[in-house]
């Protein structure tokens, strides 16, 4: 029995049980439980204020859960948040790189913080610049980049240390469709390397690209399955329809 559980947990990146976050009398995330497998692209889908960002912040160790527990990369979110931080990457909803630093300087800073040495930093920087086709922007101040490029850069920097799991909070918000498609290519490339991708979104079409999605309504999980399975269960044409069926009951943000 023990052995079975052990092997079972071996291929899980995230295990959440009854994770809850309250701000005063407001329950932002209400008793959610789910597992995320290694190398999976896992999506949190929900309206604004459904609790997606709060759930993600608890998993990243940015916010302390009110109750419940979760392990990320094998570490407990309540007690081992600093160990978790070594093994994850995070891209916030709000662009959070230093705009007054150049592209290569931002890369060097974060790579350095994650413990890469100067040689490793150099080769990783070249690799990423090539992957993004950014060679000409190496010395550009980040504030001079267009939004779509900034987001791609932020994503690449969030995985500069090749973490086990990367958390992306609305990474494609405000980005044009072409840039969004390129962004998805980056996400697939990342997942192919075995990095677990957890992301939030409110774009229904993007949800279809995830391996599994978890629909949050008023802080609760109302559905969790692969997009295909969800469409079958609710006999819907697309995820948008599934979402509208489920979100009809929402109280917040009408």
Partner 1 sequence: MLKYLLEKEFKQFLRNRFLPKFAIVFPFAILSIFPLVTNTEIKNIRLCVVDNDKSGYAYRLTEKIKSSGYFILKAVTTNEKEAFELIESHKIDIILEIPSRFESDLIKENKASVLISANAVNGMKAGLSSAYLSRIIADFNQDIRIDLLQSTNQQLSPAFGITPLFRYNPLMKSLFNMIPAILVMLMSVVCGFLPALNIVAEKEKGTIEQMNVTPVSKFTLILAKLIPFWVVGFIALNICIFVAWLFYDFFPQGNLLTFYLFAAVFVLAMSGFGLVVSNYAKSIQQAVFIMFFFVLTFVFLSGLYTPAANMPDWAQLLSHISPLKYIILVVRLIYLKGSGFTDMLPQFFSLTFLALFFNTWAVLSYRKRKM
Query: Using CB under 8 A as the criterion, which residues of the chain lie in contact with partner 1 when the complex forms?
Result: 57, 60-64, 81-83, 85-86, 88, 90, 92, 94-101, 105, 108-115
Phi and psi of 68, rounded to 5°?
Answer: 85, 175
Closer residue to partner 1 (CB): 97 or 222: 97
Closer residue to partner 1 (CB): 76 or 185: 76
Q: How far is the CB of 228 from partner 1 (least distance, A)?
A: 33
Closer residue to partner 1 (CB): 101 or 204: 101
| Cβ atoms of residues 48 and 71 within 8 Å | no
Listed residue (195, 153, 143, 148) closest to 175, CA to CA:
148
| Cβ atoms of residues 45 and 201 within 8 Å | yes
Instruction: Report how far apart the first and last C-alpha atoms of the chain are (Å, whole number).
Output: 47
- Lateral strand order in the sheet of 41-46: 88-91, 165-169, 196-201, 41-46, 212-217, 220-225
**If you search the block for the tokens 């527990």, which residue do you land on?**
69
Q: How far is the CB of 57 from partner 1 (least distance, A)?
A: 8
Q: How far is the CB of 131 from partner 1 (least distance, A)?
A: 20
| Cβ atoms of residues 248 and 240 within 8 Å | no
DSSP helix/strand/coil, 74: coil
Closer residue to partner 1 (CB): 86 or 244: 86
Cα separation, 114 vs 123, in Å, equals: 15
Closer residue to partner 1 (CB): 92 or 190: 92
| Cβ atoms of residues 21 and 225 within 8 Å | no
Q: How far is the CB of 138 from partner 1 (least distance, A)?
A: 15
- Token output for 9: 């947990």
Which residues, 6+ apart, have CB-to-CB distance to 218 below 8 Å? Answer: 30, 50, 51, 250, 251, 252
Closer residue to partner 1 (CB): 169 or 243: 169
Closer residue to partner 1 (CB): 115 or 177: 115
Say which DSSP state 102 is in: B
């Amino acid at each position: 029995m023990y052995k079975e559980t052990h092997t079972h947990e071996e291929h899980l990146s995230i295990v959440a049980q009854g994770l809850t976050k309250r701000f005063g009398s407001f329950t932002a995330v209400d008793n959610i439980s789910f597992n995320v497998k290694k190398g999976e692209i896992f999506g949190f889908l929900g309206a604004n204020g459904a609790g997606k960002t709060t759930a993600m912040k608890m998993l990243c160790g940015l916010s302390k859960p009110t109750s419940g527990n979760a392990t990320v990369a094998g570490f407990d979110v309540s007690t081992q948040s600093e160990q978790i931080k070594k093994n994850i990457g995070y891209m916030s909803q709000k662009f959070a790189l230093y705009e007054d630093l150049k592209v290569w300087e931002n890369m060097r800073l974060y790579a350095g913080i994650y413990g890469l040495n100067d040689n490793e930093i150099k080769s990783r920087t070249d690799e990423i610049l090539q992957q993004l086709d950014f060679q000409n922007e190496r010395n550009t101040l980040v504030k001079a980049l267009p939004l779509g490029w900034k987001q791609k850069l932020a994503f690449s920097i969030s995985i500069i240390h090749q973490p086990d799991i990367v958390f992306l909070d609305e990474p494609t918000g405000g980005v044009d469709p072409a840039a969004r498609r390129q962004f998805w290519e980056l996400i697939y490339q990342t997942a192919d390397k075995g990095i677990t991708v957890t992301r939030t979104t409110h774009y229904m079409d993007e949800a279809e690209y995830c391996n599994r999605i978890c629909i949050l309504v008023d802080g609760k999980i109302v559905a969790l399955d692969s997009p295909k399975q969800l469409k079958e269960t609710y006999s819907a044409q697309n995820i948008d329809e599934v979402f509208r069926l489920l979100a009809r009951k929402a109280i917040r943000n009408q």
